[in-house]
Amino acid sequence: MKKEFIFLGPPACGKGTQTGKLAQYLNFPHIDTGSLLRAEIKNGTPDGVIAKSFIDKGQLVPVDLVANIIKNRLSLPDCENGYILDGYPRSVEQADKLEEINKSIDKTPAKFMAIYFDLDADILLSRIVNRRLCPVCGEIYNLKFHPPKVDGICDKCANVLIQRKDDNEETAKARFDTYFRETAPLIEYYKNKNLLKTLDANGDINEVWERLLKTIND
């Protein structure tokens, strides 16, 4: 049976790391909607040109346009057995659009699952302010929970790690406020549809990974 996954959770809850691991484990495409939109713009597709016109004016890309870009991607052959969608939906309106998309493209029965990464706010804040990123390969570290073997140096490519400008306490709290105001209603949305699984996201990467495997197989 085709399997369709979306991950929900506030910034730094660990869903990005686990998305990549699960995509590799299941051999499913990991569809990062931010990267997808940037690629459409870079390649000058019709949707990309329209999206750029809104972004250049500092406006949000219309819901229907984003939905069309998502639909085109989910219709490709590599999504035939399933997909893991990252960064979409971000609102109840987008969730309704995704449901319409899946109904229109699913040729066989599919199992849809929304997985909510549940983590205490204090831990989330600590993860953000201690997060470090490799600007070359994109590997993410945390000075407390997942430090590099050599301080300040990426394990994979030996480049110097950086801290993102927005990885500070003030910005993090603002991002949490935005998330819980705009995106958290999706938790209730999927719970009411009996499509939500809640995952305890506290612990190291391997502990959360084992819980994730158990969750998707329940």
**Residues belonging to the active site:** 15, 90, 131, 164, 175
| Contact by Cβ (8 Å): 132, 162 | yes
Q: Where are the alpha helices (DSSP H) in the chain?
A: 15-26, 33-42, 46-55, 63-74, 92-105, 121-129, 169-182, 185-192, 205-217
Instruction: Enter the tokens of residue 26.
Output: 């299941």
Cβ(101)–Cβ(31) under 8 Å?
no
Residue 148: CB atoms within 10 Å: 18
| CB-based contact 51:175 (threshold 8 Å) | no
Q: Which two three-digit tokens encode residue 136?
A: 């070359």
Is there a contact between 97 and 67 (Cβ–Cβ < 8 Å)? Answer: yes
For helices 46-55 and 63-74, give the axis angle rounded to 10 degrees. 150
Other C-beta atoms lying within 10 Å of the C-beta of residue 110: 16
Beta carbons of 134 and 154 less than 8 angstroms apart = yes
